[in-house]
Amino acid sequence: MNPNRIILIRHGESQGNVDKNIYSQVPDYALELTESGNAQAFEAGKLLKDSLKDETMYFYISPLWRTRSTFEQLTKSLAKTKLRFIEEPRIREQEWGHLRNLGESKIVEKVRDAYGTFYYRIPDGESAADVFDRVSDFFGTLNRDFRKENFPQNAVIPM
């Protein structure tokens, strides 16, 4: 059954959104939401409830902590009997390797821009082409899931 909607939700404000230097101290996957980010995600959950009423939802959640926290805040306003979820590692953000500071990041960005942003593979990270491949594979999963007779009325993807 095709869903009524596919809803994409940006994760709430994270530590990395506030201070880019934190990437030199905390791995990308472990960045947390800020207090403001938690509030944003909670408010988004209330809007989702108001929009979808009692419709069912299936969440695909990235393994990044900020996305998982966004999901936790979103679902505080939702009936647990109306939702299901799965962790989906293919929808995580692009891997930027082990860059230790903003200076290194700026150098990599210049080299990437000169080479071509789609094909340049970040050292110890991914190219945009790598991201395209894994997200394309995820779309195949969505297509198969949508064909299931018991698929919920909405697919929700906090990213």
Give the pLDDT score at 65.
97
Q: How far are the Cα atoms of 6, 17, 36, 67, 102 from residue 22, in angstroms, in the given order?
A: 32, 9, 17, 17, 10
Domain tally for the chain? Answer: 1
**Any catalytic annotation for residue 98?**
no
CATH of the domain at 19: 3.40.50.1240
Whether pTM > 0.85 for this model: the answer is yes
pLDDT in tens, 120-138: 999 989 999 999 999 999 9
Give the pLDDT score at 42.
98
Structure tokens at 75: 């679902």
Number of helices and strands in the chain (H, E): 5, 4
**In terms of residue numbers, what domain contains 48?**
5-158
**Any catalytic annotation for residue 72?**
no
pLDDT at residue 139 is higher than 90:
yes
* E strand or H helix at 7: strand 5-9
Taking residues 43-70, what's their average pLDDT? 97
93, 95, 104, 109: which is the annotated catalytic residue? 93
